[in-house]
Amino acid sequence: MSASPESNAAGVTGGAGEDIFQLSRRLRAGIEGDLHEHLVEALYADAGRIASRAVSRPGRERRATFDATLDRIVTSRVWGFPVMLGLFALIFWLTISGANVPSALLADLLVGRGYPWLQELAVAAGLPAWLRGLTIDGMYLATAWVVSVMLPPMAIFFPLFTLLEDFGYLPRVAFNLDRLFQRAGAHGRQAMSTMMGFGCNAAGVVATRIIDSPRERLIAILTNNFALCNGRWPTQILIATIFIGGLVPAHFAGLFSAAAVTGVALLGVGFTFATAWLLSRTILKGQVSTFSLELPPYRPPRFWRTLYTSLIDRTLFVLWRAVVFALPSGALIWASANLEVGGRSVAEHAITGLDPLGLALGLNGVILLAYVIAIPANEIVIPTVLMLTVLSAKMTGVGGGAGVIFELDSPEEIKRVLTAGGWTVLTGVNLMLFSLLHNPCSTTIYTIYKETRSARWAALAALLPLAIGFAVTALVALVWRALS
Amino acid sequence: MKLFALLAGAGAATALLGWPRHGILARWREARSAAARIRREDALKHLLKCEANGSPATSLSLGGALGLREGEAAALLRDLEARGLVSFAGGALALQPDGREIALHVVRAHRLWERHLAEETGVAEARWHRLAERQEHRLTPAEADALAARLGHPLSDPHGDAIPAPGGELSADDGQPLNAIATGQPFMLVHIEDEPEDVYAAILRLGLRPGMRGYVMGRSTAALRLWIEGREVELRPSTAQQLSARELHAVSRADLRGERTLADLPPGARGGVIGLSASCRGAERRRLLDLGFVPGSVVEARFASPAGDPTAYEVRGALVALRRDQACHVRIAAEGEVAA
């Protein structure tokens, strides 16, 4: 805005001796309304004038009709939700079924071949047993496990998801679901970060960047952990097959356990809304809140670019953080099972110490310890549980020794080990609940810290679901024991 | 042994009670002196406001404003006089320069803090005044200046009151009581008194804010009917007394009648933006402006989400979804309606 001669004539010239601050104050008091708004209006007016002279839009009409038709379908009362559910079912199906083969290949390569090969190498190099245990049984094995279980699903899920995003469909999902999130005090775009959370919570937390309103973004970050992530699906499916499927006749078992897993995932969605509602009305009340949702025009996704960015920005980024945390934690797992104090390993002491609390929650000390030392990734919780169960029940002939996490080929064998470890149906049910409702993995907690730049929010994000998990499992155990 | 424990206990209790600065006694003394300072500042603020509005302050009006008994108010004034903050020298109660400086700072801090709460936080409107009442005694002049700089040296608080410049003058309340505006005369609300709290909350519930334009449709002894920003509002004359308005002469009643909000647009219809409602503030307002909801933009309602809310609007070539409570903030003049 430059001062024009007219405005000068209209009394802008300061009287002799009037200092420049007084002058500016006097001029400003004469402006009706808000200066910032006048600037925005002037900018838009100028931009509009220039654009109308300089920009031509060939083919705009046809595009607009195409967009409008597509919008009418994907946001219609009849087709909006079925299209959405269908697409996401397809993505999950592709992820789960597509990840099986590469996961098995990676596991075979890294755990099946790489692990014994490294062992031999270390023996040949004359490394002492404790060092071999710490580095190869502990650090390498945990990391190899995380990579082989985590990498393939993410490498499929993230590119598919990013393609939908690039095409312009995801903002329409947020548009369709906004009313639901609005009731809970959240933003429609949280639908996207939640769905991303089903792939990986750390990536889901990063995805909340698209929510531009501070309060709603914090809500999305703090509740993302209730989206059952990729690393927890195998635990759910395994435990449901072993303990829930066994409750009904064999030909219903598959259906029944699948329903139980879906139920847990839906319970997570329920907790997302309930917690969002609670947070927005209590501790987040004073945070700034605005809403806006742009619906960009549809465009053909840039396939290779999408593939590249989703692999680098999301998959490798998350994987790298997981590896960084898996290394020390692998060492910790091995050390806890092999360091002995008073004739028993540290892990056994910890299990005995945690047992009273674990049993009160309908779980046991092994599970609680596994969730503490397997904090880098939910993927290694079951292998750690198996190793600790064998260790504390002094079983022989199963697994690879103290501190070596392992997986068994069939659910029946796992069931045998767990039952020998004192597990009941209640333990199975509560493990499923606790797997949904516990602190996020260390990768996610660290990501929350990086995103919010606040240790306070990171601590709340970790402790809130943990507290809910303790309360829910304790309640279930109480009711279960009262009824049986 | 017993004696020793007793002595240690007594020592600990004494320390807890009498420790300099952190002991209970020191804390209590501190709280008491802070309370006394707050009362002095509140008294000076009252005197300044009376002075600015040209109504003489007395110990009676002071007692009423601060909720003190007559004797307490008189004692407070004696204290202020002893500190050289007020004087009775001219035959009437008047602020001394030092007292005026403190009072002006307190008013400035209060209004700046309300502005900060309105612009930079999501704190509910009904709580602004109470929070600012506390904060006005905590901010130092330097902090108030820093806050003003951060907020872009605002001229008025969210209730429409002018924020005085440091060392400047407190201007008199703007406008005239709404009850004094003639029926049918277009006006703009310029000020809403935020005390007493329950009446203020009732005004907020009616959705009235400084900056809104309208006219009085009719009045009786029991009620005042207003047309304001595209809707009718009814309020009691005693409530209306809390509102001040300025007459508008460049605006006609027909203009005001033609005003609607974006939320009234059915899908397929268009309207030209007149402006944003004054009730939309802070980040929310800036966001709407940035999206292009500025005077002169033509907006077309396109389609609603399956749940009915939000609705997608086309503005300046972009498709933007707004929730209903936001669309209510965009004032439009309905244009030639396009068939859906």
Structure token digits, residue A398:
């199963």
Task: List, in sequence order, every residue forming a beta bridge with B259; answer none if it has no partner.
Answer: B333
Q: Is B337 a residue whose pLDDT tops 50?
A: no
Give the residue with greater pLDDT, B115 vs B58: B115
SS3 B119: helix
Tokens of B106: 């307190």
The pLDDT of residue A278 is 94
Q: Which of A31, A38, A40 to mutate to test the interface with B (most CBs of B within 10 A)?
A: A40
Instruction: Write down the pLDDT at residue B115.
Output: 92
Over the stretch B255-275, which tens digit does the pLDDT of each residue have?
888 888 898 889 889 999 988
Please list every residue in chain A whose beta carbon sits closer than 8 Å to the beta carbon of residue B288: 292
Q: pTM of the prediction?
A: 0.82
Residue B211 reports pLDDT greater than 50: yes
Report, as an integer, the average pLDDT of B37-54: 88
Residues in A touching B283 (Cβ below 8 Å): 213, 288-290
Helix or strand (DSSP H, E) at B279: none
The per-residue pLDDT for A344 is 87
Q: First and final CA of chain A: distance in angstroms?
A: 79
Task: Indicate the residue type of B13.
Answer: A
Report residue B314 as tokens. 């086309």
How far, in Å, CA of B129 to CA of B113, rounded?
9
Residue B296: predicted pLDDT: 86
Distance from CA of B63 to the nearest CA of A (A): 34
Please provide the average confidence, as pLDDT, over all residues in chain B.
86
Q: Which of B127, B249, B300, B305 is the mutation pick for testing A, counting most A CBs within 10 A?
A: B305
Q: What is residue A10's predicted lDDT score, i.e. its pLDDT? A: 43
- The amino acid that residue B63 corresponds to is G
Q: How confident is the model at residue B338 (pLDDT cuts 50, 70, 90)?
A: very low
Alpha carbon of A56: minimum distance to chain B alpha carbons (Å): 13
If you average pLDDT over residues B300-307, what whole number do you get?
A: 90
pLDDT at B108: 94
Q: Which residues on chain B are in Cβ contact (under 8 Å) with A81?
A: 306
Chain B CB contacts of A213 below 8 Å: 283
Confidence at residue A7, expressed as pLDDT on a 0 to 100 scale: 44
Amino acid at A388: L
Check CB contact of B284 with chain A, cutoff 8 Å.
yes
Closest CA to A115 of A94, A90, A92, A143: A143
Calculate the alpha carbon distances from B74 to A324, B36, B79, B95, B136 in Å.
Answer: 71, 14, 9, 15, 24
Question: For residues B88 and B100, what is the distance between their CA atoms, to the nearest angstrom?
Answer: 14
* Contact at CB, A44 and B316, closer than 8 angstroms: yes
Per DSSP (E only), the strands in A319-465 are 340-341, 344-345
- The alpha carbon dihedral of A194, A196, A200, A203 has a sign of negative
Does residue B150 carry a pLDDT above 80?
yes
ipTM: 0.81
- Are residues A226 and A267 in contact, defined by beta-carbon separation less than 8 angstroms? no
Looking at residue B147, its amino acid is L
Q: Which residues contact B64 (CB under 8 A, 6 or more apart)?
A: none
Contacts of B128 in chain A (CB under 8 A): none
Q: Judging by DSSP bridges, how do beta strands B224-228 and B213-219 pair with one another?
A: antiparallel
If pLDDT is split at 50, 70 and 90, which confidence band does B172 have?
Answer: confident
Distance from CA of A215 to the nearest CA of B (A): 8
Q: Is the pLDDT of residue B340 over 80?
A: no
DSSP string, B196-224: SHHHHHHHHHTT--TT-EEEEEEE-SS-E
**Residue range B102-145, pLDDT digits in tens:** 999 999 999 999 999 988 888 888 888 889 999 999 999 999 99
CB contact under 8 A, B121 and A77: no
Among residues A40, A31, A47, the alpha carbon closest in space to that of B294 is found at A40
Minimal CA–CA distance to A35: which of B151, B213, B284?
Answer: B151
Give the residue ranges of chain A where pLDDT is below 70: 1-18, 59
Q: Is-contact B266 A271, C-beta < 8 A?
A: no
* Contacts of residue A285, Cβ cutoff 8 Å, sequence gap at least 6: B122, B123, B124
Residue-wise burial string across B227-254, b where 16 or more C-beta atoms lie within 10 A, e elsewhere: bbbbeebebeeebbbbbbbeebeeeeee
User: What pLDDT is recorded for position A205?
Assistant: 94
